[in-house]
Chain A
Amino acid sequence: MSKNEISAPDLKEIHIHNPKNKIKESTGYRVFTVVNTIIMILVSFATLYPFLYLISQSFTSEQAIIAGHTGLIPEGFNIKTYIYVITRYDCEFLKYYLNTIIYTLIGTILSLFFSSILAYPLSKPNLKVNRIMSPFIIFTMYFGGGLIANYVLVLKLGLKNSMWGFILPMLISTYYVILMRSFFMSIPKDLEEAGEIDGLNKFGVFWKIALPLSKPIIATMALFYAVMYWNNWFNAKLYLQDKAKWPVAYFLQTIIRGGGASDPDATQMSANIKSCAMVLTVLPIICVYPFVQKFYVQGMMLGGVKE
């Protein structure tokens, strides 16, 4: 599988089949380039349109929404909706938001820690027990307890209405552990051996040599996990009945799905309020995303490359 091995891609080489040389291009190819550009513009627009529409709606005035005047340019531009969403019912939105931030921070740190202490020994091919451990871990990707058995377990553990009921069921993602393992495997053995000769024990090698060398994968995993916790609403639906503990994604679910008994005015809530809440929730992800995207892609490719 050496074909799939990804070395630092030399961009000039990759595009050698269409270099910017002065060989005359065929008309067909030029037409294709134009068509391709148009397709790409359309795809980009179609991808961004729902976001732009939401943002526009969140700034549109109440009257314009009732009159059905919506579009990409907000009519009667104002930020009243934002003030309303943030301050309504004793700033409940901010409380949900804060919950999400807490869950995401704690969850991500714990997930990273436990995933790496699992992935590291798994990456050692000479560790005898891995012949049992790898299948033990990987099997859970393909068969599991299913929704109900997990639900019953969490209730039985007394984690209902606790932050741990939200975090623990998704603490370690097997798929991410496998990605980390692939990365750890690629660390040159010599470096670790050198560390051992210098008197480090296995913990020391892990902590002082392997982890610092694994910053790219740690960053990727931090982002994967953070997005997972930030976006999760279903665990909250199952295990957090106490409104004071809701993460913002679950609050959004109740207002979007509408008619929830927990929020009587949900169905009447107008579009600009919903849009506003959605924009506020998605904002951190959209802001951070362009800067971290390359890590995500690296992480994904790592998974696709067979060791």
Chain B
Amino acid sequence: MSKKETFQEQSLQEWTPRELTLGQRLGKDLRINWQLYVMFLFPIIYYIIFRYIPMFGNILAFRKYNAGGSIFGTGPVTLKYFKQFITAKPFWQAFSNTLILNGLYLLFRFPLTLIFALLLNEIRNLHWKKFVQTVSYLPHFISMVIVCGMIKELLSTHGPINDLIAQLGGEKISFISRAEWFRTIFVTSGVWQSLGWGTILYLAAMTGINPSLYEAATVDGASHFQQVLHVTIPCILPTIATLLILDIGGLVGSGGAFEKVYLLYSPQTYETSDIVSTYVFRMGVESGSINFATAVGLFEGIINLILLTCANFVSKKVAKTSLW
């Protein structure tokens, strides 16, 4: 279908007389499609104001900001805010926590999601399968506020986990205020939230597998397990590779983790819980060091962009799919 379209387009382009200049061609396009251009109008203004102006607002990492003044700052360009955070110990703590939390989360979530998808695919009873899917997707739609509220209730000193510990004769632990427990809580709750939802793309890839492959495998005497190993997994390998590479590309970004960390952390647990985005929020919004926080945020954003670009490049080479 799409191939046909591009073919038609190509042939159309060949028909267009060569003499038309770029301006003329654009003008012609504008005359035919002006209504489509009108539709673009508001969204473009929106993107400029709410996406691109803040992007250039990053200049605050280099110029002094006065409350109520220009959002692009005033005065000369300076690198002092970068020097400040590069030498700040809390920044490096937040930076390594970001990597550790994202890394651990990926390490557990990724294989578990894949295994869960394979197991779901083996369920024969469609109603039961539908039920399990419905239940396991649910946490994805719950506000992080509720998720963290639940975590706090379940882990409180009178909650069910501590009840169980007490019944087994152990000592109650106040999980939330203990730094050594933060990573476990973060990863476990993350897996709880994303296990079901993460299977969707795998399941979609599995439904696309040609059934004759399984038939052939059955004829060749392959057992069920062998079919999974030699048919299912190779067929969804591009999906696996793409998702893995992109996840690795997102290791430094803390967009997704921000809400959860912010809602669960406290000064007692900063050493394991503070991530770059929560650090930026604390410095910028709560303490009002706008320039300093912008510099940190920009640093994170650029590293993130570089990593994503690399990941995308690898994905293009290895899995033949890419983001852009």
Which chain A residues have a beta carbon within 8 Å of chain B's beta carbons? Answer: 1, 3-6, 9, 11, 13-18, 20, 26, 28-29, 32-33, 36-37, 39-40, 43-44, 46-48, 50-51, 53-54, 57, 65, 68, 70-71, 114, 117-118, 120-121, 124-129, 133, 135-138, 140, 142-153, 156-157, 168-169, 171-172, 185, 189, 201-203, 206, 227, 230-234, 238, 249-250, 252-253, 256-257, 271, 274-275, 278, 281-282, 285-286, 289-290, 293, 296-297, 300-301, 304-307
Contacts and interface: CB of A to CB of B under 8 A. Distances in A.
Contact of B200 (A128, A202, A297): A297
A171 to B, nearest CB: 6
B160 interface: yes
Contacts of A125: 5-6, 9
A129 B26 CA distance: 8
A40 B132 contact: yes
A44 B139 CA distance: 11
Interface in B96-149: 116, 119-120, 122-124, 126, 128, 131-139, 141-146, 148-149
Contacts of A307: 2
Interface of B: 2, 5-6, 9, 12, 25-26, 29, 33, 35-37, 39-40, 42-44, 46-47, 49-58, 60, 65, 71, 116, 119-120, 122-124, 126, 128, 131-139, 141-146, 148-150, 152-154, 156, 158-160, 163, 192, 195-197, 200-201, 204-209, 211, 214-215, 217-218, 223-225, 227, 231, 235, 239, 259, 263, 277, 280-281, 284-285, 290, 293-294, 297-298, 300-302, 304-305, 308, 321, 323-324
A114 B42 contact: yes
B139 A47 contact: yes
Contact of A256 (B51, B58, B152, B298): B152
Nearest to B305: A143
Given A47-B138, A70-B159, A117 B294 contact: no
A169 B29 contact: no
B119 A118 contact: no
B305 A300 contact: no
14 contacts: A11-B126, A32-B224, A33-B122, A43-B136, A47-B136, A70-B158, A114-B46, A145-B55, A148-B290, A150-B57, A172-B43, A282-B142, A285-B141, A304-B205
